[in-house]
Amino acid sequence: MRRRARACTFSVAALAVLATSPIALAQPAHVTAPDPISHVDAMYPAGEELDTTVIVTVVIDKTGKVLEATITEPVGHGFDEAALEAAKQWVFRPALRDGVAVRARVHIPFHFSPPAVAGAPPHAHGDVHVAEKRPKKKPATGAEGGTPGIEDAAPDEVTVSGVSRPASHGASDIDIQIGQLRAVPRKNAQELLKLAPGVFLSNEGGEGHAEQVFLRGFDAREGQDIEFSLNGMPINDVGNPHGSGYADTHFILPELVESLRVTEGPYDPRQGNFAVAGSAAYTLGLAERGLTAQYGFGSFGTHRALLLWGPPKESTHTFGGAEIYKTDGFGQNRRAQRGTAMAQYEGKLGPKTTFRLLGTAYATHYGSAGVLRADDEQVGRAGFYDTYDATQGGDASRASIAFDVASRTGQTTLAQQVFVTHRTMRLRENFTGFLLDTQGAFQSPHDPRGDLIDLDTTMNTIGARGSARTKADLFGVPQELELGYLARVDDVTGTQQRDRFGTLVPYTKELDSSAVMTNVGMFADASVKPGIDWITVRGGVRGDLFTYDVNNHCAAPPDARGAVVDQPCQSLDRSGYREPNTRSSTSSVLAQPRATVLLGPFSGLTLAASYGMGARTVDPVYVTQDTKTPFARVDAAEGGIVYAGTFRDMRLGARSVFFGTHVDKDLVFSETSGRNVLAGGTSRTGWMGEGRLTGSWIDQAINVTAVKAKYDDTGLLLPYVPDLVLRSETAVSGDLFSIAGRDVRGTLSAGLGYVGRRALPYGQRSDTIFTVDVGASARWTRYQIGLSSQNLLDRRYRLGEFNYVSDFHSQPYPTLVAARHFTAGAPRTFMLTLTIFFPEVGG
């Protein structure tokens, strides 16, 4: 199996310089050289160690599209193909002669440097680039097709990056390049997950609430079973009272996501806490250089202003972005506002050392409609998009900084990252109406006051991770070994109250706690070729120490005579006076072996078999003194086949995987708690298939996952998880017509999603979901207009469906038997966006 890495060239910057360089000035005064608008990184050929340069000559037509690309200075070893493939995807602002677009030819030197962080963790330091200045090259000259040509020139300065990602750890280790599928309409970065097989997203909490993720038969809620990271920085909230592992990715601007690595299963030793169903590692990057300003407005009073900036002379990993968003929302109580800012600088500390500094800030305030009873909607007591409780909603904020550095010395690559995150979250949800506030003896007489959960938490995280990867020859071939660690400390405070219906006045307190949790993990990951070229064994072991120090400030309920009436947190129990708090601390160590065997490739086909053990720490509320195993354990195994090749001029990838997992302590949704709670053991078996065809004018991805998830003890199905998920995404682009000699480039995109009938409690099945999202855009010179629609068919569908007991006082008598509830999916929405590009800004 080949190690993959990416090399990108910053000829973008260089070519922009061309216009003002002496070379450019040598052109006729009224000639402007072609200027790159966007460029695509080349992939560093796996298994290679060369530090080399490939010169590609491209012919650019009047629209700025690459007509032809040829190798001028080949070096072989896969570098030529990688450079060609990348160069064909570049888009230029065409060359001008007397203000008229003309064809032109330029040389692009792709410099490949061995990755600084070979096999970097999917969630750490990640992309690291080594920048080098290249010597000036003499300009070549040429003309194209009888059109007055522009003399070719190589840039006088070239910045080159070597970027790596970890080697594949099985058939379910999927590296998703967003590419042209960025055009498919999406609301946020989390929806990029749909490019991974088997992912279904739901949301009953409002636009500022993290999406609920279902993956391969897991109800991962808001990330409790999926490890999320951004450029290596952990996203999951350890100890969040709404669910430890809660992962809100809304702070990520989707336009800044360069790629997404989704590993479905715990097969890579780098995967840490919460990687039960798998992990999702976002990598940031901005291909479009210069300043991009976008304003969008659409249905239901939705407005979005976006600014992106990629300094032309810097790498694609140096950028800034900010957005302001607001919507009135469809139906009742779905308003939302948010602001996001992200910036990253990538620089160099020496010939082989790079660093990256990332900062993010995000805040949102939103309303939520919550759930509706289906019987109320069916008889007209409530509208499909109505709400029972307009005080539902929430607030969230996040600020984080990450700094990482990587250097390469000989055969060893060292990487180190530190990160700090501050998070706040307030969440108000009412799943059960007036069901839970029964009269207590130590309470003043009252009618049911309502079940609104009013949760508030503040979380601070500080941590570091690092790795050392080295190579050595064994059996006559290079073998790899990486050692790494993660250390993080999370300090969390949280309260959960219940509020009187419609007033936000709290009447009782269910939780008041603080906790400090520490995770120190270390791993060893080897890639071994036992002397046979087509056999590779990857894997190793991960060890984690989890510690908890929990202080429950409300540990004594009113159950003793003499208790203070109506006070939820007492200083008295049946033995007399006591302080109202209880401390609990514990720790535990877990070793998790993980291994993958790869056979091939044989004509592009690779067989893979993997096994892995993973873990998810439990919520602090479940921790008692010296709890022996404060984590759930998952065992996963799979076998599959992966194809990577070409179809005509397009890249074709496909995979088929059969998988099975077992979790000893699963999480199941509890409507009374408003979140997932611990349940017994569960098992899953299923199959996943995926394919993607990528060419210069088309990008087509399709995936399907079928899974059966059941309880170990009863053999009954696990509720809520979809057993069939299909997704298709398509983007096509091409030149439409010309205006003033400049072509208008159009893009059409479509996303189709189908979710089968999900199992619900009491033998019920949900409705199916089928949605169609489409988008169209046209770009002329620096202007672009786009129109997108989500749920184009305006299907009225239930995004989330539940079957449980609630009493919203919608009927004359208390409703105490399980009934169908749902959260409404969005109706058809339109969004019109206007974008202006200023590629010269910052150049």
Partner 1 sequence: MKRLTIGVVLAIGLALGIGCSGSTGSQVFAFHAVARGTDGASGGAYTFTTPSGWSVTLTRARLRVGPVYVNHAVPISQSRSTGGYSSGRYIAQVLAQVTVDALSPSPVPFGVDGEGVAEVAQTGEVWLLPDGGDDATPILEVAGTATRAETTVPFAGALPIDSSWLTPASPATPGESPLLALRQVTDIPVLFSTQPGGTLVVRVEPARWFDAVSDFSTLAGNGAAADGSFHLGADGLASDAATVAIFRGFHAHEGAYALQWQAP
Q: How far apart are CA 338 and CA 326, in angstroms?
A: 6
Task: At 303, give phi and psi (nearest 5°).
Answer: -135, 140
395 vs 573, beta carbon nearer partner 1: 573
Q: What is the 3-state secondary structure (H, E, C) of 98-156?
A: CCEEECEEEEEEEEECCCCCCCCCCCCCCCCCCCCCCCCCCCCCCCECCECCCCCCCCC
CA 74 to chain centre: 37
Kindly state the tokens that stand for 492. 């969390």
CA distances from 724 to 709, 753, 820 (A): 11, 11, 21
Minimal distance in Å, beta carbon 265 to partner 1?
16
- Which helix (H) or strand (E) element contains residue 528? strand 506-528
Side chain identity, residue 275: A
Query: What are the DSSP calls for 156-222, one per residue?
Result: S---EEEEE-PPP-STTEEEEE-GGGGGS--SSGGGGGGGSTTEEEE-SS-TTSPPEEEETTEE-TT
99 vs 814, beta carbon nearer partner 1: 814
Minimal distance in Å, beta carbon 801 to partner 1?
13
Please name which of 512, 266, 503 lies closest in space to residue 390, comparing C-alpha atoms. Answer: 503
Minimal distance in Å, beta carbon 610 to partner 1?
18
Minimal distance in Å, beta carbon 763 to partner 1?
4
Mark 297-311 as b/e (b = at least 16 C-beta within 10 Å).
ebbeebebebbbbbb
167 vs 701, beta carbon nearer partner 1: 701
Please name which of 822, 690, 771 lies closest in space to residue 198, comparing C-alpha atoms. Answer: 690
Minimal distance in Å, beta carbon 429 to partner 1?
20
440 vs 827, beta carbon nearer partner 1: 440
351 vs 763, beta carbon nearer partner 1: 763
Minimal distance in Å, beta carbon 199 to partner 1?
15
DSSP letter, residue 563: P
Minimal distance in Å, beta carbon 701 to partner 1?
17
Residues linked to residue 228 through DSSP beta bridges, in sequence order: 280
Minimal distance in Å, beta carbon 766 to partner 1?
11
Minimal distance in Å, beta carbon 708 to partner 1?
5
446 vs 583, beta carbon nearer partner 1: 446
Minimal distance in Å, beta carbon 161 to partner 1?
38
Kindly state the tokens that stand for 8. 């990108």
Side chain identity, residue 170: G
Minimal distance in Å, beta carbon 702 to partner 1?
13
Residues making up the chain, counted from first to last: 843
CB of 452 closer than 8 Å to CB of 486: no
Please name which of 490, 551, 494 lies closest in space to residue 518, comparing C-alpha atoms. Answer: 490
Q: How far apart are CA 741 and CA 202, in angstroms?
A: 46
Q: How far apart are CA 559 and CA 567, in angstroms?
A: 11
261 vs 820, beta carbon nearer partner 1: 820
What's the maximum distance between 2 C-alpha atoms anywhere in the chain? 100
479 vs 672, beta carbon nearer partner 1: 672
Kindly state the tokens that stand for 79. 């570098």
158 vs 721, beta carbon nearer partner 1: 721
396 vs 718, beta carbon nearer partner 1: 718
Minimal distance in Å, beta carbon 193 to partner 1?
20
Q: Count of CB atoms within 10 A of residue 766's CB?
A: 23
Minimal distance in Å, beta carbon 757 to partner 1?
8
CA dihedral (714, 719, 721, 726) in degrees, to 10, reads 100
Minimal distance in Å, beta carbon 322 to partner 1?
43
Task: At 688, give phi and psi (nearest 5°).
Answer: -130, 135
DSSP letter, residue 496: E
737 vs 813, beta carbon nearer partner 1: 813
394 vs 558, beta carbon nearer partner 1: 558
141 vs 439, beta carbon nearer partner 1: 439
Minimal distance in Å, beta carbon 594 to partner 1?
24
91 vs 563, beta carbon nearer partner 1: 563
Handedness of CA 433, 434, 437, 443 (dihedral sign): positive
| 472 burial via Cβ count (<10 Å: 0-12, 13-18, 19+) | exposed
97 vs 710, beta carbon nearer partner 1: 710
Minimal distance in Å, beta carbon 761 to partner 1?
5
Task: At 167, give phi and psi (nearest 5°).
Answer: -65, 155
Q: How far apart are CA 495 and CA 236, in angstroms?
A: 19
Kindly state the tokens that stand for 330. 């469809």
Minimal distance in Å, beta carbon 217 to partner 1?
9
Minimal distance in Å, beta carbon 445 to partner 1?
6
Give residue for tokens 């938490």: 457
Handedness of CA 194, 663, 122, 339 (dihedral sign): positive
Kindly state the tokens that stand for 522. 């270390």
31 vs 563, beta carbon nearer partner 1: 563
133 vs 574, beta carbon nearer partner 1: 574
CA dihedral (256, 261, 265, 270) in degrees, to 10, reads -100
Residues interacting with partner 1, by CB under 8 A? 435, 437-446, 448, 561-563, 565, 656, 658, 685-687, 689, 704, 706-708, 710, 714, 716-719, 723-724, 756-757, 759-764, 803, 805, 811-819
- Judged by DSSP in three states, 552 sits in strand
146 vs 380, beta carbon nearer partner 1: 380
